[in-house]
Amino acid sequence: MNKEFEPQIVAFCCEYCSYSAADLAGSIRMSYPPNIKVILVPCSGRVDPVYLLHALEKGADGVYVTGCMEGDCHFLTGNYKAKKRVAYIRQMLDEMGLEQDRVQMFNIAASDAPEFARVAKMVTERIRALGPNPMKEQIPVDTETQREEII
């Protein structure tokens, strides 16, 4: 494993729970790895499978979706939908020859800042162990800017 490898991880966080948890983690000065780039979504159910693939294609080493606890989705079932979509993409990753753990899903309550930090650390370590996304080195120069925008 390359010790200097710092994974770039995209986290799609739902507005009503997990993004609030991320916010709270910041407010109470709870640290979590800076490798996580949070993208606010109105609901985890808003995360289309293609977003996950595009993030990987553009060079993210890992992607994860965080939704409300099961049964607590503000839109009732968005997190269940996200769970199924993540499972669909993980299955696809397997067929593509990529590690399934590059795409994951977690449920985090709005008040649970420690859980947000714990998940961020866990995912970072897991992706660090997997190593860099093989797409990364092969991204053409002209899409580098686009990659930076996405990550």
Partner 1 sequence: MIVGEHKPIRELLSMVHGYDNILMVGCKGCVTVCNAGGKKEVAILAAALRIARRKQGKPVTIDEVTLDRQCEPEFILGLEEQINKNNYDAIVSLACSIGPQYIAEAFDTMVVFPGLNTNFMGGTLEHGIWGEYCSACGNCGIHNFGGLCPVTRCAKGLLNGPCGASVDGKCEVSKDLDCIWEHIYVRMKNLGQLDRLSRVVGAKDWSKSRSGGPRKIIREDLTL
What is the binding site for partner 1 (CB under 8 A)? 48-50, 53-54, 56-57, 92, 95-98, 134-135, 138
41: closest CA among 66, 69, 73, 22?
A: 66
Q: At its nearest, how many Å lie between partner 1 and the CB of residue 73?
A: 17
Cα–Cα distance measured from residue 64 to residue 2, given in angstroms and rounded to the nearest whole number: 22
Q: At its nearest, how many Å lie between partner 1 and the CB of residue 121?
A: 26
Using the minimum distance from each CB to partner 1, give the nearer residue, 47 or 113: 47
Using the minimum distance from each CB to partner 1, give the nearer residue, 69 or 143: 143
String of DSSP letters for 101-139 = GGEEEEE--TT-HHHHHHHHHHHHHHHHHH-S-TTGGGS
Using the minimum distance from each CB to partner 1, give the nearer residue, 55 or 110: 55
